[in-house]
Amino acid sequence: MIIIGGALIVWVYVATTPYRAARRWQVIEGQILESEVEAFKKPAVYVALDYSRPHVRYEYVVDGKSFNNNRISFDCANVEVPDEGQAGYWKEWNCGSPVNVFVNPNNPTETVLLPAPRRERSRHYRTVVLAGVLLIVVGACLEVYV
């Protein structure tokens, strides 16, 4: 149990490393070139739930050189949202509209529009860390009493 708990915590650390790095990235105003929303079904227990995710292409300029990219986040699950009859976080990402582009200063081709996990995804990471801590504690208690 202790090893599994530690592995869960390490997994979260590794999965969130790009988000921590992006906090130090340069923010440049870019422009949305293409914007559409894909609706899809995501399997769940006994049913398939309706989800949406945006697909965008944006342009930005670094040191006088123009770049295009379509990366929104480091993690696909950070982009998907359940359909609940409302527009997603991307509702202002229309063709021609400005957008903040987070650019890796060491590699201007590496960019994201969402440099941090959305609230729903952050909860997921916190839950996995909590499960890891509980597994470590329970495993340690079992070793003491066995």
- Which residue has 């400005």 as its token pair? 98
Q: Residue 38 CB: number of other CB atoms within 10 A?
A: 10
Q: Where are the domains of the chain?
A: 1-23+116-146, 24-114
Q: What is the DSSP letter of 13?
A: H
Residue 84 has pLDDT above 70, yes or no: no
pLDDT value at residue 107? 95
Determine contact, residues 25/101, Cβ cutoff 8 Å: no
- Which long-range CB contacts under 8 A does 7-11 form with residues at least 24 apart? 7/132, 8/128, 8/129, 8/131, 8/132, 8/135, 9/128, 9/129, 9/132, 9/133, 9/136, 11/128
pTM of the model: 0.78
